[in-house]
Structure 1
Amino acid sequence: MVDFDAYERELWAGRAPAYERGFARLTSYTVEPLLDAAGVGAGARVLDVGTGPGVVAAGAVRRGAEVSAIDADPGMAETAGRNVPGVDVRVAVLPETPFGDETFDAVVGNFVINHVGEPGAALKELRRVLRPGGRLALTCWRMPGSGALAVVRDAMEVAGVPWPEDIPVTPFMEYGEPGAFRELVAGVFEDATVEEVTWEHVVDPEEWWETGAMAKVGSNGVILSRQSPDVVAAVKAAYNEIVGRYAVGDGTVSLTAYALLASGTR
């Protein structure tokens, strides 16, 4: 059985630039709702877990918060430190964090809990670093992936590309619907709630292909990188047909994104 956390470290190594150009734009939509759900305001001590290129950390800084951030990938942490000067950014792999008990008023994580091998253990650690009464807010993708998250995978299925045995599926798959996600969070936090969030991601389809599939961002990109040129061409043809259904008339496509936003109190 493939170790999911070890796979994740390999998956994201060196991907920070491509992620910043592509998926970071997609996930930026939920930054403000996430910070709202955690009650982040001026003077709040905030921990941003899985900061990536620092989009959430930057949003918290704009609100006047005192921000610390962690990411499991050194390249992501370096990117965040460059993008958000003055923020305390460290490399750390959940379910461990390099902070003392009750350090923060709020903990936020934008699409990171679905990249953790032990989601329950991660939640307990995030509770540990929150002060009593502090707020947690996390986003995850609605699963199985659909809309913006699925167009490349759908094209691969059309082209007959199978899912390899050595690439693990996220353990979070069972929690990617509102009831299960709320139950998971409610096992560790009080007043747990989950809301569904959808938005339209308007993007150049060629850019979406290049910064995702061809840049090996995520498992779909890794799988595609193993294929022959003929298979890649077949996938691209299927992709063009699929995204063409969402054209908005100016060379871009509008892809719906489906996510969940959970919050709770320590």
Structure 2
Amino acid sequence: MASWDETVQAYERSFGTLCAGTVDRLLGDLPAGMLLDVGCGTGGLALRARDQGRSVTAVDASPEMVARAREVLGAGHRLVHEDEASAPSARVLEAALPDLPLEAGSVDAVAANFVINHVARPADCVREIARVLRPGGRTGMTIWPPGGGGWTELVGDAFESAQVIALPPARLPRELDFPRSPEGLAGLARGTGLEILVAQELRWEWRIAVEDLLAGIRGGVATPGATYLAQSPAVRARFEEELRRRGRAAAGPEGLLTFASCAVYVLARRRDGR
């Protein structure tokens, strides 16, 4: 079983680079001012925002992710003093949706990059995002659509060849779930009174070395990682051999795999005077 520290390193090396594919769009659409990064992971989005001159509060439920984000940002958990408010600053807190330790109407923007697809109560979490936004503030939210990205075919084929035993699918109760589509995510936002500005799919290419992809899976990241760790040592070894073989065959001249990637994206605004 991978330790959480190993999982953090594995995420940063692998699927963290996939999730970074939407960061430029999110930050480009969100207003200046105080930014809240919910589910900040290892702090990549928060760092980019801080370097752009924004003040940032980043939160994550994992103590290990929080520790790594603090390293990346050089930030602690102290509050920003009033005389520092004009300078870019950052703090990282251990917290999670739908219970954020922030006052209502206290931030100008909220980035929720691949967070809502992981939570147990999606509607409550989007409602909490709306609560902390100032009137006129915006949130940018991304989730994975059904089927995952282009990388899933390669990993799935390697799983099948290695006779990996799949884990039971984890699904929310019907009354809590929502369609993993632009309209489905927009519907959650509308239910909190937010005004929808954009609801669409984002597409980009993810480039990664085979060994970096394998490192993420071996580290227990996401469903593929959990599936890998649930196998016997013999099955794990077969899978690694299959993934390397297939990865080498699919890699480009630079030795990198290139996968078409897609995310559901919603940009929403808290109405003035709400």
Alignment of 1:198-213 (within 5 A): 198-210=203-215, 212-213=216-217
Q: Which residue of 2 aligns with 1:65?
A: 54
Q: Among 84, 87, 92, which residue is 1:89 paired with?
A: 92
SS of match in other structure, 1:52: coil
Aligned length: 252
Q: Which residue of 2 aligns with 1:46?
A: 35
- Pick closer, same or farther for the CA change 1:21–1:170 going to 2, 3 Å: farther
Q: Which residue of 1 aligns with 2:136?
A: 133
Q: Among 23, 26, 41, which residue is 2:15 paired with?
A: 23
Partner deviation per Cα, 1:138-177 (whole Å, 9 max, x = no partner): 1111222131355324432444433334x62467974322
- Give yes or no for contact 2:196–2:266 (8 Å, CA) kept in 1: no
Larger displacement relative to structure 2 (217-226 or 230-239): 230-239
- Give yes or no for contact 1:247–1:254 (8 Å, CA) kept in 2: yes
- Give yes or no for contact 1:26–1:201 (8 Å, CA) kept in 2: yes
Identity score, percent: 33
Q: Among 56, 65, 81, which residue is 2:45 paired with?
A: 56
Larger displacement relative to structure 2 (225-234 or 83-92): 225-234
Distance 1:136 1:31 in 2: 13
Q: Which residue of 2 aligns with 1:250?
A: 254
Distance 1:170 1:191 in 2: 25
| TM-score, length basis structure 1 | 0.85
- Pick closer, same or farther for the CA change 1:255–1:220 going to 2, 3 Å: same
Q: Among 243, 247, 262, which residue is 1:239 paired with?
A: 243
Alignment of 1:1-266 (within 5 A): 13-14=4-5, 15-39=7-31, 41=32, 44-86=33-75, 87-149=90-152, 151-165=154-168, 168-169=170-171, 174-188=178-192, 189-210=194-215, 212-240=216-244, 242-244=246-248, 246-266=250-270
SS of match in other structure, 1:30: helix
For structure 1, the residue ranges without an aligned partner over 5 or more in a row are 1-9
Say which one has the larger Rg.
2
Residue 190 of structure 1, CA deviation: 0.8
- Pick closer, same or farther for the CA change 1:149–1:135 going to 2, 3 Å: farther
- Give yes or no for contact 1:149–1:257 (8 Å, CA) kept in 2: no
- Give yes or no for contact 1:192–1:265 (8 Å, CA) kept in 2: yes
Residue 56 of structure 1, CA deviation: 0.8
| CA RMSD of superposed structures (Å) | 2.4
Distance 2:160 2:172 in 1: 19
Distance 2:52 2:12 in 1: 22
Letter aligned with residue 248 of structure 1 = G
Distance 1:12 1:151 in 2: 26
For structure 2, the residue ranges without an aligned partner over 5 or more in a row are 76-89
SS of match in other structure, 1:253: strand
Letter aligned with residue 205 of structure 2 = E
Residue 178 of structure 1, CA deviation: 2.2
